[in-house]
Amino acid sequence: MLQSNESTEGEVPAANAGRSHNTLAVSSAERHMATSKKKRGKAKSEEIIIPDKLYFRIGEVSKLAKLPAYVLRFWETEFPQLRPNKGSTGQRMYRRRDVENILLIKKLLYGDGYTIAGAREKLRTDMKSGKDQAALPFSSGQSAAELKRVRHELGEILKLLDKGSHRRRAD
C-alpha cells in the first residue's frame, strides 16, 4: 500500500502537523503587527483641525476624535482634566481645552502605548511643569531701558485718563 501526502479535507498531513499550525500562528502575529504599524503611522500623519467654537457637544467631539461617546464618558471618570460643563438640558459641553486634552489622551493611550494610569500621571506631571505655557511675546533684543520707557508712557496715559474722570465728576 502506498502512503500519500495528501490529506482529506480538514486533516493536517502528519509530516506538517506541528509546523503548519505554528506557521499560521506566526503569520497571524506578523499580520497583526504590520496592521498595527500601519494604523499608528496613519494616526501620526493625520492632523485634526479643531473648529473655532466656544463649546462642542459630545457627538461633535466624538467625530473629531474618532472615538465612541461612551469612551469619552469613561475618560471623564478616569482623567480629572476632563470635566465638561453640562447645559440646562444635561448635554455635555466640552471647551476647546477639553477637546485638546482628549486628543492628547488618545495619542498617549493608542499611539504611545500608555496605560490609563500612566497617561493620567503623564498629564498630571505635564500640567505641573507648565510645559503648555506659552513664552512671552517679547523679543530678546528689547532692552530694559525701552521697557521702562513704555511703562512711563503708560503711566502718563493713566494720569490723563484720571484727570478726565475727575472733571466729569465735578460737572
pTM to 2 decimal places: 0.51
CB 56 within 8 A of CB 94: yes
For the stretch 82-123, pLDDT in tens is: 989 988 898 999 999 999 999 999 999 999 999 999 999 998
Q: What would the CATH number be for the domain defined by 55-129?
A: 1.10.1660.10
Mean pLDDT value across residues 16-23: 44
Compute CA 12 distance to the chain's CA centroid, rounded to the nearest angstrom. 49
Most confident option among 24-33, 82-91, 107-116, 128-137: 107-116
For the stretch 40-93, pLDDT in tens is: 444 444 678 888 888 999 999 999 999 999 999 999 999 998 989 988 898 999
- CB burial of 24-44 (b: ≥16 within 10 Å; e: otherwise) equals eeeeeeeeeeeeeeeeeeeee
pLDDT > 60? residue 35: no
The SS3 assignment for 13 reads: coil
- DSSP of 30-83, one letter per residue? HHHHHHHHHHHHHHHH--PPPPS-SEEEHHHHHHHHT--HHHHHHHHHH-TT--
Q: Which residue has the higher pLDDT, 135 or 48?
A: 48
DSSP state of 92: E
Q: How confident is the model at residue 38 (pLDDT cuts 50, 70, 90)?
A: very low
- Give residue limits of the domains in the chain: 55-129
Mean pLDDT for the chain?
A: 75
